[in-house]
Amino acid sequence: MATRRHLLKAAIAGGTFLLLPAGLPPSRAGASVRGGSLDPTTIDKYVTELTIPPVMPWVTRDRERGLDHYTIGVRQFRQQILPPGSPATTVWGYGSTRHPGTFHYPAFTIEADFDRAVRVEWVNQLVDGRGHHLPHLLSVDPTLHWANPPGGIPFRDSRPTFTSTPGPYTGPVPLVTHLHGGHNAEESDGYPEAWYLPRASDIPGPYARVGSFYEEYKEKSEERYGALWNPGSAVFQYANRDRAATFWFHDHALGITRLNVYAGLAGFYLLRGGPDDLPRGVLPGPAPRLGDPPGTRHYEIPVVIQDRSFNRDGSLFHPSSRAFFDGFDGPYVPDSDISPTWVPEFMGDTMVTNGSTWPVLPVEPRRYRLRFLNGCNARFLILKIVTDPLAARPAPAALPFWQIGSEGGFLPAPVRLDQLLTAPAERADVVVDFTSVPVSTELYLINEGPDKAFGGGTAGIDFPPASPSTTGQVMKFTVRPLTAPDTTVPPEHLVLPPLAPLRPATRTRRLALVEEDSAVLPDTGPRAVMLGTLDDHGNPVPLGWGDPVTENPALGTTEIWEIHNSTKDAHPIHVHEVQFQVVDRQEAGRDPRAPEPWESGFKDTVIAYPRAVTRIKATFGQAGRYVWHCHMLDHEDNEMMRPYTVTPARP
């Protein structure tokens, strides 16, 4: 079977990296996506009002110590994601264990204040009414390098060996939560090998109940904070000394993150206040608060966009065989190195926003602050506000976005954009001004990104855009009468907090992004996507999760990381623990190109374009063991993640 990759030829046009699949003529037609048994074209659009995530309630608030305590569990429940009248969907979600009504997908929002710590006991409650473990909602591939609880203490966090192709793993599910964007101690970062199983009564005796780093981090955390870790849980503390920004939290267990997030484990974490925030009243608000009475109008809204697929019974669909992706139906392990269930990328055929398919948001003719998060597992989004959701792509924009912030807080100045390009895990803090839009107008948020892996370029010219009838639509805005004057500052007049540049770098590291085909079967792949380094001749040296650490910056140092992408796709690269600055991008034989205007602030995730070098600069201010990885979760779960260590300076 031929590899699923086409040879690509690279070009640069209009300041944008363009990757053109050979033999594919430019097309304005939408590409189709396969999914479950529910045809997405039969799902009614714009009949459900957008859910605005409420605020997660804390358990106690210690005002003397400046500390908010939360106990947040993960449970399985049914939720109406499809329109009313359709079957409900079984999902997983976070919620306060003291407040049962708060369990939701996506999670309620954690609101945090600058320099006021948040302590969360994260509890794995994936058990049934009898206290028995719940199996995963989706097919778990046990042939990857993953948490591997059945391996016991000696073989947890490894790639198991099988004498025949195994079926999906159906045992208790490992979890560990990562605060994406936070600058925290290693024991609170959500390290992929610090997972833990639920406190279930039927876990087989030989199973490992915790990951390889759980006990070490438990001891460090209990010594540092005095908070005990109970079986089936972990206690993480977040200092909240970062710039005011849009963070989010999600599962990060080794080799199973894509499935746990797809099942529903994600939520916003909004950090406010401090010297890098704006006074209240400058930007649109209010945002949701604890104790909001019913009917409260909110003008600051977090918006997470995800793609999912469904079956006719309302259940989530996710591939259970590699054959779904490229038709390869074996041989699998042990007769080849191709895993039987993992797929290189999966794109859902239905857009879900804040937990509902194709919702509608009533707006007033005023300004709104929308905090966008691309929460897709693998899909890049190109968002645009238009008058006709079915217009030929690229469609003309009806309203601009004014981007004021990215992952690490505010930009140096507002950036006016007709469209938003966001990779998985990227955030865009924007103001949309509906002031001049007449009442009763209907506008649509559409997606012109591709229904496949993204390589750069322009929709309808360099790649087929998402299907206009399904994945090319996201949500609808309907303009209703103004209820109160808007006294916020127009976005073009905003003066944002100053941005302090990082000091000069003392070292440059050359890193590689590599796609690996089968080493056993000719013209078959990819079997994995990997990170690595470059040798002295500039050749990539692929390295897996289990290989020795090669990135070990000293505490307090500033480094440039050159990310050389030898693959044919763009990859969103996320570095834990730091907020970095994008230095430039460069294709072979070309001059370096400055970052895009919307990349001029601090970031924790950057698009590394194919056949190009992307340079980022970061200061490593927290000693410990962290990770960097591709945030296409299918890639992350099959070797495209590496540990790195920040080492204390020698005395």
Q: SS3 sequence, 471-483?
A: CCEEEEEEECCCC
Cα(173)–Cα(103) distance, integer angstroms: 18
Instruction: For residue 329, report the phi and psi dihedrals to the nearest 5 degrees.
Output: -115, 25
Q: Which two tokens stand for residue 586?
A: 């460069």
Cα(183)–Cα(241) distance, integer angstroms: 8
Please, are residues 459 and 465 in contact by the beta-carbon 8 Å criterion? yes
Cα(60)–Cα(473) distance, integer angstroms: 41
Q: What is the pTM of this model?
A: 0.95
Amino acid identity for residue 392 in this structure: A
Q: Which two tokens stand for residue 22?
A: 């050979």
CA-nearest of 144, 194, 202 to 172 is 202
Pairing of strands 117-124, 67-79: parallel
Cα(323)–Cα(330) distance, integer angstroms: 8
Cα(173)–Cα(137) distance, integer angstroms: 10
pLDDT at 63: 86
pLDDT at 8: 32
CA-nearest of 413, 404, 394, 462 to 433 is 404
Please, are residues 394 and 459 in contact by the beta-carbon 8 Å criterion? yes
Instruction: For residue 200, report the phi and psi dihedrals to the nearest 5 degrees.
Output: -100, 155
Pairing of strands 266-272, 316-317: unpaired
pLDDT at 649: 72
Average pLDDT along the chain, 651 residues, taken 10 residues at a time? 37 32 31 82 98 97 92 98 98 97 98 98 98 98 98 98 97 98 97 98 97 98 96 98 98 98 98 98 97 94 98 98 96 96 98 98 98 98 98 97 98 98 98 98 98 94 96 98 97 97 97 97 96 97 98 98 97 98 95 97 98 98 98 98 91 55
Q: Which two tokens stand for residue 19?
A: 């990757």
Strand-pair partners of 178: 250
